[in-house]
Amino acid sequence: MNAKQAAGYKAAEWVRDGMTVGLGTGSTAYYAIEKIGEMVGKGLKIRAIATSNASEELAVKYGIPLVASSEVTRLDIAIDGADEVDPQMALIKGGGGALLREKLVAINSDRFIVIADSGKMVSQLGGFKLPIEIVPFCYEWTLGRLQERYKVEIEMRQRDGQLYVTDNGNYIADASFGKIVSPGELSHELKMTTGVVDHGLFVDIADTVIVGYDDGRTEVIGKKE
């Protein structure tokens, strides 16, 4: 069992009959979805909302029943990966471009469990490029304003030689902050920038972090029992 699998499988232990569950996105969330699918196969009764088209396809593949957001007011739990986790459980997410749906699901969940291999744990956020989701209209202006404001390298994410397009039809700009001194402040500032839809800083959202290690061990860190 690898570190991501260990963390993903451990998180599935929090999923109980009758829950509405948010399914994250990425290579770590994959293992949680796989495990939850196995549990559903053995009779677990849940319904789920996926944070990306890719995770929705996975849920269908593993037989996890999906529910429309119109039928749900709040989720019991959401389980998702992260690109960086700091000692206060602030996160950088969005390496896979799913940050907006992930944040919507995370803030609407009673418990948000982050699953991460130990390499994602950092003393200060910012080593990983911060994904910023921006609207396509006049995106060059938004990019220019961000570059002007922060004076750091910010590049438009590309895929196959084209601008990367999120599941929501937006673009992603990746910002190399290096070190983020005040994630909360930066989070608010970015959110106030016209043209920015959202960004990958998740501050004061995670309730529990499950760290996975290469030898298969896990460590649970968190605010909630």
Ligand X SMILES: O=C[C@H](O)[C@H](O)[C@H](O)COP(=O)(O)O
Site of interaction with ligand X (CB under 6 A): 24-29, 80-83, 93-99, 102
Are 157 and 42 in contact, with CB atoms under 8 Å apart?
Answer: no
- Least distance (Å) between residue 5 CB and ligand X: 11
| 102 among known catalytic residues | yes
Are 92 and 127 in contact, with CB atoms under 8 Å apart?
Answer: no
- Least distance (Å) between residue 33 CB and ligand X: 11
Flag whether 96 is marked binding: yes
Are 93 and 83 in contact, with CB atoms under 8 Å apart?
Answer: yes
Nearer to ligand X, 119 or 144 (CB): 119
Flag whether 223 is marked binding: no
User: 182, exposed or middle or buried, with CB in 10 Å at 0-12, 13-18, 19+?
Assistant: exposed
Nearer to ligand X, 86 or 145 (CB): 86
Are 149 and 190 in contact, with CB atoms under 8 Å apart?
Answer: no
Nearer to ligand X, 80 or 207 (CB): 80
Flag whether 207 is marked binding: no
- Least distance (Å) between residue 42 CB and ligand X: 25
User: Pick from 87, 99, 196: which is nearest to 141 by CA?
Assistant: 196
Flag whether 166 is marked binding: no
Distance CA 192, CA 4 (A): 34
Flag whether 94 is marked binding: yes
- Least distance (Å) between residue 209 CB and ligand X: 13
Could you say which of 13, 34, 56, 102 is catalytic? Answer: 102
- The DSSP code for 44 is -
Nearer to ligand X, 84 or 142 (CB): 84
Distance CA 155, CA 76 (A): 36
Binding site for substrate: which residues? 25-28, 80-83, 93-96, 120
Show binding-site residues: 25-28, 80-83, 93-96, 120
Catalytic residue numbers, as ranges: 102
